[in-house]
Structure formats: structure tokens, C-alpha cells
Structure 1
């Protein structure tokens, strides 16, 4: 059982790395300060955009990471 959880843990870890690297940077330059009104449409539908989906996927993968970490601690201590 420990081997299966370890494999799942490694897969989840790699998926977290991939999802985080796939997210756009949150840096705001001068262009976003000038065109500040462009964010209003995307602010309403933020959960439907690719960035919103990646954010949800990151949260889900982090939850799985914590769960597999706790399971590994449990099975290692046995």
C-alpha cells in the first residue's frame, strides 16, 4: 500500500509543478495601469477562464498532496 501511495504522491507532485508553471505571472506593468478597465469583463468570469481553471486545479492537487503526505506518514509510522 505504501508503494502505491508513494507513486500517487510523486504523480501529484509533478502535476502541481506543471500546473503552477502553466499559470501566467501576476506582474503588472505600465500597460495594465494605463488600460485598467480591461479587467472588468474578465473579473466577472474569472472562474471560467483558463487561469481560473488552473487555480482550481492547483487547489485540488494541493489537497491531494496533503492527503497523500498524511497517508505516507501514517503508513511509515506503522
Structure 2
């Protein structure tokens, strides 16, 4: 039981650091006036997929893992 808690704690710390890194790597949604113009252009011409979309999806997965691990550690 103690070993399981230690392993979960180590994984929790790694997931926490990964979540922090993913959030910091993402760019802002709008960067002033140019961001609003680009947002309008994306509405008409479609959105190109790039690294930001991949970072967003990975952030969702890592955040889910963070929440599950936090609940497991609370229960233990």
C-alpha cells in the first residue's frame, strides 16, 4: 500500500510538471487587434491545424490524468 502511494505520488508530480509545461507553451488566444483580425479570418477561411491545437488536446489529456491522480491520492 505504501509503495503504491509512493508510485502514484511520483507520477502525480511528473504529470503536474507536464501540465505546467503544456500550459506555458501555448500561445494566447488573441494578441491585441491583430489577434481579432486573425480570428475573423479564421471564421471565414477555416482554421489551420498546427502545434497549438496539438498542445490543447494534450493539455486536456494531462489535466484529466492530473484530476484522476489527485482523487486517487486523496482516497489513499
What TM bracket, shorter-length normalisation? 0.7 to 0.9
In structure 2, the gaps of 5 or more residues are: none
Report the TM-score, using the length of structure 1 for normalisation: 0.77
What RMSD, in angstroms, separates the aligned Cα atoms of the two structures?
Answer: 1.7
Superposed structure 1 runs of 4+ greater than 6 Å apart? none
Render the CA deviation track for 1:51-78: whole Å, top value 9, x for unaligned: 1111110000010001101110111xxx
Q: Evaluate the alpha carbon distance shift between residue 22 and residue 30 of structure 1 in structure 2; reply closer, same or farther with a 3 A threshold.
A: same
- The CA distance in 2 between the partners of 1:32 and 1:55, in whole Å, is 18
Most deviating of 49-58 and 22-31: 22-31
Are 2:8 and 2:73, in contact at CA under 8 Å, matched by a contact in 1?
yes
Q: How many residues align?
A: 70
Secondary structure of the residue aligned to 1:14 is helix
In structure 1, the gaps of 5 or more residues are: none
